[in-house]
Structure 1
Amino acid sequence: MGRMSGPVAQEIETLLRGALAPTRLEVINDSARHHGHAGDDGSGESHFTVIVESPHFEGKNRLARQRMVLGALGDIPGERVHAFAMKCIAPGEAS
């Protein structure tokens, strides 16, 4: 549940792989849990969580890591997707 992959999920995955060369990447669609709530646009792709493990995060703080993810995704978070949560870790860090 939550692993279905629509066009937005695939675009998120492609953009993050291209920008951050992650050693682990999970794009989790949380939209079904929010069906009928604020921000549910009926697309089935309104709420996402990503877990990104990337060597690019080494030595960077949480805010810098989040900015890297948001920078890679352009207008998806906040514009095309209502809710976007992320967990950013460097290889070897506890997840």
Structure 2
Amino acid sequence: MSVAREIEAVLMQEFAPGHIEVIDESERHRGHAGWREGGNTHFRIRISAPALDAMSRVEQHRAINAVLKPQFDAGLHALAIEVKKSGAF
């Protein structure tokens, strides 16, 4: 399973989002810290989920980063997170 699909599956299971996009932006970071050949190091997540609606922005990011800890441990270097209220995307 690709890293993007793995991230999506984890977030789907944990937050049951109405909208989710997982975008590999690794190539845009070529030569930067954490980049490696083959990508799968830098991702952008766009998500809308009722489970995140009541949380502050900091709480949302902490919750998402916490469930993706195994992916970070396996080489995920950077994650840009965009959270919108349910139905906003």
Asked if Structure 1 and Structure 2 have the same fold, meaning a TM-score greater than 0.5 normalized by the shorter chain, the answer is yes
1:16 counterpart (11, 14, 18): 11
Larger RCO: 1 or 2 (CA < 8 Å, sep 6+): 2
Q: How much has 1:89 moved relative to structure 2?
A: 2.1
TM-score, normalised by the number of residues in structure 2 = 0.85
> How many residue pairs were aligned?
89
The one-letter code matched in structure 2 to 1:90 is: K
Q: Report the equivalent of 1:3.
A: none
Aligned-pair identity (%): 33
Gapped regions of structure 2 (runs ≥ 5):
none
Query: Is residue 48–residue 87 contact of structure 2 (8 Å, CA) maintained in 1?
Result: no
Q: Give matches, 1:1-95, under 5 Å.
A: 7-77=2-72, 80-93=75-88
Query: Is residue 26–residue 41 contact of structure 2 (8 Å, CA) maintained in 1?
Result: yes
> For structure 1, which segment, 53-62 or 72-81, has the greater mean C-alpha deviation from structure 2 after superposition?
72-81
The one-letter code matched in structure 1 to 2:66 is: G
TM-score, normalised by the number of residues in structure 1 = 0.81
RMSD of aligned C-alpha atoms?
Answer: 1.9
Gapped regions of structure 1 (runs ≥ 5):
1-5
The one-letter code matched in structure 2 to 1:42 is: E
